[in-house]
Structure 1
Amino acid sequence: MSRRTKVGAAALVAVALTLTACGGPAKNDTGLKGADQAVGKADINPQDASKVKDGGNFNWPITVMADNWNNWQLDGTVGDGADMQRAVMPNLFQQTADAKIEPNKDYLEEAKLASTDPQVLEFKINPKAKWSDGKPITWQDFESMWKALNGTNKAYEVSTTTGYEDIEKVEKGATDLDVKVTFKKKFAEWEGIFSPLYPKSMFDSPEEFNKGWVDAPKVTAGPFKIGSIDRTAKIVTVVRDSNWWGDKPKLDSITFRQVDRTATADAFANGQIDWYDIGSSIDNFQRAKTTPGAVIRQAATADYTHLTFNGADTSILKDPKVRVALMKGIDTKAIATALLGQMLKGAPQVVGNHYFLIGTEGYQDNSAVAAFDKEAAKKQLDDLGWKLEGDVRKKDGKDLVVRLVIPTPNPVSDQISKLTQSQLKEIGVKIDIQAVPVADFFKQYINVGNFDMTAFRWTSSATPISDSKGIYYLDPASTNQNYGHIGSEEVNKLLDQANGELDKTKRIALANEADKKIWELGAQLPLYQAPGAVCVRNNVANFGAVAYANRPYDYIHMGFTS
């Protein structure tokens, strides 16, 4: 299951797909690429608009319905919800396949860094851009968003304050369509801030922000609008918005349909969905190779699977030395090989960094402090007073039993949890696997810290440092996405410095210093980078394995060739 990280200062930055690069589809009679995969190449069957059929409905699988249609509220950041939100909300910036960010001309005529000292941004809004209630998009939407997200009013249950807490003021420029943003502290990865944008009315009160958009978006401004939301059937349909001012979408509609992970291949074969994420599932990979009308497409993706640890005082893993000892007892290479080995013709990508993924600028393996070493793990636990008594270690009469919470049904999470359980048993740690309904997983367990360990996927972005600040920054007043409540003043200081450093080389160096400290704290254990393979119908154009161009997907140009 996927939880999306923050892009720049924006939660789930929504950006349009730019068809700048593509590669040929992976042949169905071969394995997928592993660590040898090139970064920045999309595999989407790019087609000119004239070759894409006008009309049709695209069936899109989701794992869960949106918990909140407000992307900025703590419960609104689940990946499936974001994919639906991006089709109907203003995405001010667009992220390309090769991890670059550009202003989206449908909303912004210009976005520029006007000054560096003090740092000032200037936005010029497209005069055609309007909300679905007929109101123009203006500087006031930006101002209201900043005031709600800057952290000064704790009643707003925000998923991130990154970037917004550094702003001194948001002002009207020459007209209502000109926005001037002045920072009190420098914010380096500013591209993507205020995206997705929401209307001023959503920020009017904490109650409206937190609960007003739980059931549906009240105002939209995208190429599509909400057609229907059926919570009983677990289906959301978006349809062309006739008031859209940009290029007309090729599709009449997109139907987002909840499908259990175990049933996606069958749903595709039966015509219920038009694509699915192969992810780490060998079963889905094998089915994709043999299903008529299917093609496998692959591109290096900003997606990795990990284990998150809970360091709160109520958790048995509150001691960072215990967490690091457990990490030393987990063989990530063995887990990656078990999940991906049968699919890949190259080696699985075992990740050694929390900020930068393999093949991207800035990546270096900082995982040495937690490298797999069973004997070192045993000794460390011994030294900490956790002595082996029978099969399980004890300290002060308490067994070292760790509750690992996973979503179900999800065969990948199930396999990861059992492999982890087996490996940690060898060092005297008992793993109690608790499988909870997928719809409850984040809202009732992860978001509120109701776990000792858990496993899910993070999706990174073109702005990985600010993207991840809310995950690793320890703020006693707000969880953000630091679900395990693990951090330190030292990490906070390094993250503040990195986010305020305009020199990219220095910024990357600071982020890597922070990453080393995060490894020492035992916050999260990255397992492997996803191969980035999807199964899609062979007559689908401008969609597939999009690399970094998923914020948003190209909802306007995707469609069918026949």
Structure 2
Amino acid sequence: MSRRTTVGVSALAAVVLTLTACGGPSNNGGDSGLKGAENTIGQADINPQDASKVKDGGEFRWPVDQLPDNWNYNQLDGTNADGRRMIDTLMPNLFKQNPDATIEINKDYLEDAKLASTDPQVLEFKINPKAKWSDGAALSWEDFEAMWKSLNGADKTYEVAGTTGYEDIEKVEKGASDQDVKVTFKKKFAEWKGLFSPLYPKSLSSTPEAFNKGWADEPKITAGPFKIETIDRTGKTVSVVRDANWWGEKPKLDKITFRQVDRTALADALANGQIDFFDIGSSIDNFTRAQSMQGVAIRQAVTPDYSHITFNGAESSILNDPKLRVALMRGIDTKTISKALLGQMLKGEAQVTGNHFFLLGSAGYKDNSAVASFDKEAAKKQLDELGWKLEGETRKKDGKELVVRFVIPTPNPISDQISKLVQSQLKEVGAKVDIQAVPSTDFFKQYVNVGNFDMTGFRWLASAQPISDSKGIYYLDPASTNQNYGRIGSEEVNKLLEQAVEELDDTKRLELANEADKKIWELGHQLPLYQQPGAVAVKSTVANFGAVAYANRPYDYIHMGFTE
């Protein structure tokens, strides 16, 4: 499962890197393996084809773990990566991420966007006059103003997934026309290109009720190359079709159907023609099956996607002591877990990551994990010092057993394997892990989002603006969970994060983020496991799609299609 934060740039169950996509090597059949840590950042593998070679029409069938819990991506239940992929076919993204994590203006929505002043910081956006909402209204400065007011944290009845960036804005004003937007900040905000995406109409932010529940079942107003055809919660599908009112370049595809498919059924679904691709992730079974399929290519690119374990530091959790969380982290061998999950499909080493903001190969990456690195004997010693004494196979303190509830989604073979490896490893240091498997459709809404776990695991999907994109995960705000599901943090981390998102100097900003990262490790906030290999199995006739690297916000829904 996957997930990520919202500054506007998502998690799989919401840390992402301008150029046209480059074609990388594809693996298909034989004994070829995937690249590991030596993989090159910034290169996509998508079977790039000129528009003239892509068939006009066709339906692309896209597998997902679940349908959106809310079509408002900025609402707490809305930050699901699968939902974001659907939303991006319908709603405005003001900027586009490229495979190498650079960012460019999306000319379908903006004619220009610029930093007009740095002191105070002022942004000026010029909206494309052709851009219209599905109700006929033009996109305007009022949509920006309404979105800012709902997301700046001033009104706590708006159940927002994050306030990063918006809380730093002083005012949003009309410029020379309704399509000219002036945004003035009271505090500097460096990664401003992640704001206001996806953009929503002002009506969504008109009241807390409209924001929180108004789009829970369906999107009300859209402005994208596609529009909703059907939302079938019984059949577990969402289909979008070309919108005749779209003012930009006509999409190659007639239709995209998003279908909920269990992870264990992905390979069969592709082989049977029910879907056109699947994300291999860390499934050796799916990798092996894909290698043997006729007419299927395995494409790979470094992706901003990593698996981790989140710890719960709330008073209600047995893990509310940061020293206990760090001690348990020291009992978890991430390298062994990575080899167990990825070893059979990689030619090189698995990409074990030691940073919460930056992935391997990116400019800011430093391994700051020493304080929580695997050391079984150190873990035992730290647990002893904390008063958790071994009695039989399990430690006790003040008569209470050290039993940790690890909540995972099911059916999900990867989560099952990871949790059992963690269970086995922590048993060796005297901690008992109670694995609770819950339905995938309930996993985020009823467990993760509300802190109903001691430990849990999913995948974080990041963006080209990793600091602001991650702030809501690590910033501790007593008044709002944001995406800090474990309720862990400190004033020191908060201050460093505030300084980092405000710092306009790139080098200094990376340094501040790494200082914050060191403190996050000391708090035992979450344990990154491994970076995904970034491989997908896709029909060989699919063009301009596959392993897109960082070009996933939005995906290139306009040019993707079939060569025959």
Q: State how far apart, in whole Å, the 1-side matches of 2:503 and 2:19 are.
A: 28
Residue number in structure 1 paired with 2:160: 158
Corresponding residue of 2:391:
389
Alignment of 1:234-253 (within 5 A): 234-253=236-255
1:25 positional shift? 1.2
Per the alignment, residue 219 of structure 2 pairs with 217
Unaligned segments of structure 2, at least 5 residues: none
Q: Whole-Å Cα distance in 2 between the matches of residues 18 and 69 of structure 1?
A: 30
Note the alpha carbon deviations across 1:483-511, whole angstroms, 9 max, x for none.
00000000000000000000000000000
Matched, 1:2 2:2: yes
Structure 2 equivalent of residue 90 of structure 1: 92
The CA deviation string for residues 126-145 of structure 1, in whole angstroms up to 9 with x for no partner, is 00000001010000000000
Q: How many Å separate the matches in 2 of 1:10 and 1:290?
A: 36
Offset at residue 19 of structure 1 (A): 2.8
Tell me, yes or no, if the aligned pair for 2:67 and 2:82 is still in contact at 8 Å.
yes
Runs of 5+ unmatched residues, structure 1:
none
Displacement of 1:11 after TM fit? 6.4
Among 507, 510, 516, which residue is 2:509 paired with?
507
Cα offset for 1:552?
Answer: 1.1
| 1:146 pairs with one of 148, 154, 157 | 148
Mapped pair 1:261 → 2:297: no
Structure 1 residue 24, shift from structure 2 partner? 2.2
- The 8 Å contact of residues 65 and 261 in structure 2, kept in 1 or not, is answered as yes
What secondary structure sits across from 2:89 in the alignment?
helix
Q: State the alpha-carbon separation in 2 of the partners of residues 421 and 116 from structure 1.
A: 51
Partner of 1:24: 25
Contact 2:5 2:161 in 1 (8 A): no
**1:394 partner SS:** strand
SS in 2 for 1:123: strand
Shift in Å, 1:18 = 6.0
The separation in 1 between residues aligned to 2:64 and 2:85, in whole angstroms, is: 9
Structure 2 match to 1:56:
58
- The reply to whether residue 192 of structure 1 matches residue 191 of structure 2 is no
User: In 1, Cα distance between the equivalents of 2:488 and 2:327?
Assistant: 16
Distance (Å, rounded) in 2 between the aligned partners of 1:248 and 1:310: 47
Mapping for residues 268-307 of structure 1, pairs under 5 Å: 268-307=270-309
- Whether the 8 Å CA contact 1:9–1:162 is kept in 2: the answer is no
Counterpart mapping for 1:301-450 below 5 A: 301-450=303-452
> What pairs up with 1:166-205 in 2 under 5 angstroms?
166-205=168-207
Q: Does 1:66 align with 2:68?
A: yes
Contact 1:3 1:79 in 2 (8 A): yes
After TM superposition, give the deviation of residue 309 of structure 1 in Å: 0.1
Q: Note the C-alpha offset of 1:10.
A: 4.8
Q: Distance in 2 between matches of 1:24 and 1:135?
A: 45
Q: Which amino acid aligns with 2:547?
A: A
CA distance in 2, matches of 1:254, 1:228: 11
Distance 1:192 1:306 in 2: 24
Offset at residue 27 of structure 1 (A): 4.1
User: In 1, are the aligned partners of 2:10 and 2:81 still within 8 Å (CA)?
Assistant: no
1:177 is aligned with what amino acid? Q
Paired amino acid for 2:2: S
How far the C-alpha of 1:9 sits from its partner, in A, is: 5.4
Which of the numbers 505, 518, 521 marks the counterpart of 1:519?
Answer: 521
- Decide which of 456, 462, 478 is 1:460's aligned counterpart: 462
1:483-494 equivalences in 2 (<5 Å): 483-494=485-496
- For 2:556, the aligned partner's letter is D
Question: For the Cα contact (< 8 Å) 1:11–1:72, is it kept in 2?
Answer: no
The SS at the match of 1:84 is helix
For residues 256 and 377 of structure 1, what CA distance do their matches in structure 2 show? 45
Cα deviations across residues 120-168 of structure 1 (Å, max 9, x unaligned)? 0000000000000101000000000000000000000000100000000
The count of residues paired between Structure 1 and Structure 2 equals 559
Other-structure match for 2:481: 479
The AA in structure 2 aligned to 1:225 is K
Over aligned residues, Cα RMSD in angstroms? 1.1
2: distance between equivalents of 1:547 and 1:20?
9
Kept in 2: contact 1:18–1:95 (CA 8 A)? no
Q: Does the 8 Å CA contact 2:9/2:463 hold for their aligned counterparts?
A: no
Q: Is the 8 A contact 2:34 2:346 kept in 1?
A: yes
Paired with 1:33 and 1:505, the residues of 2 have a C-alpha distance of: 29
Distance in 1, matches of 2:462 and 2:362, equals: 11
Structure 1 contact 303–457 (Cα < 8 Å) conserved: yes
Asked if the contact 1:11/1:159 (under 8 Å) is kept, the reply is: no
Query: Hey, what does 2:112 align to over in structure 1?
Result: 110
2:169 and 2:10 mapped to 1: Cα distance? 16
CA distance in 2, matches of 1:4, 1:549: 16
Superimposed CA distance per residue, residues 272-321 of structure 1 (whole angstroms, 9 cap, x where no aligned partner):
00000000000000000001110000000000000000000000000000
How far residue 23 of structure 1 moved from its aligned partner, in angstroms, is 1.1
Residue 22 (structure 1) shift = 2.5
CA apart distance, 1:192: 2.0
- Contact 1:9–1:164 (CA<8 Å) still a contact in 2? no
Q: Deviations over 1:17-41 (max 9, x none)?
A: 9633221212432000000000000
Specify the SS of the correspondent of 1:468. helix
Tell me which stretches of 4 or more aligned residues in structure 1 moved more than 2 Å. 8-13, 17-22, 26-29
Q: Counterparts in 2 of 1:122-141, with a 5 A limit?
A: 122-141=124-143
Does the 8 Å CA contact 1:19/1:46 hold for their aligned counterparts? no
Q: Residue 191 of structure 1 aligns to a residue in which SS?
A: helix
The correspondence for 1:559, drawn from 552, 557, 561, is 561
Query: 1:449: how far off?
Result: 0.2
Distance in 2 (CA, whole Å) between partners of 1:420 and 1:525 is 12
Q: Distance in 1 between matches of 2:166 and 2:28?
A: 45
**Against the structure 1 CA distance between its residues 497 and 172, is the aligned structure 2 distance closer, same or farther, given a 3 Å change threshold?**
same
Of 532, 540, 550, 1:538 maps to 540
Does the Cα contact within 8 Å between 1:327 and 1:525 map onto a contact in 2?
yes
Helix, strand or coil at the partner of 1:326: helix
Cα deviation for residue 216 of structure 1 reads: 0.4
TM-score of the two chains, using structure 1 as the length reference: 0.98
CA distance in 2, matches of 1:137, 1:59: 30
Q: Paired residue for 1:498, among 494, 497, 500?
A: 500
Distance 1:292 1:235, change over 3 A: same
Counterpart contact for 2:10–2:84, Cα < 8 Å: no
Alpha carbons 1:260, 1:409 under 8 Å: kept: yes
On the 8 A contact 1:9/1:189 being kept in 2, the answer is no
AA aligned to 2:143 is D
Partner SS, residue 439 of structure 1: helix
- The answer (yes or no) to whether the contact 1:11–1:196 under 8 Å persists in 2 is no
SS state at 2:378 partner: helix
Contact 1:44-1:543 within 8 A present in 2 as well: yes
SS at match of 1:418: helix
| TM-score, scaled to structure 2 | 0.98
Question: Are 1:461 and 1:467, in contact at CA under 8 Å, matched by a contact in 2?
Answer: yes
Instruction: Give 2:442's aligned amino acid.
Output: D
Distance 1:290 1:27, change over 3 A: closer
Cα distance in structure 2, aligned partners of 1:11 and 1:148:
19
Shift of 1:468: 0.2
Counterpart CA distance in 1 for 2:404 and 2:415 is 16
Task: Please give the alpha-carbon distance, in whole angstroms, between the structure 1 residues aligned to 2:492 and 2:96.
Answer: 33
> What secondary structure does 2:356 align onto?
coil
Q: Deviations over 1:199-243 (max 9, x none)?
A: 000000000100000110000000000001111000100000000
Q: Distance in 1 between matches of 2:21 and 2:334?
A: 34
Secondary structure of the residue aligned to 2:434 is strand
Q: Which amino acid aligns with 2:484?
A: N
CA distance in 2, matches of 1:28, 1:132: 46
2:19 and 2:139 map into 1 onto residues whose CA distance is 24
Distance between the aligned counterparts of 2:495 and 2:93, measured in 1? 31
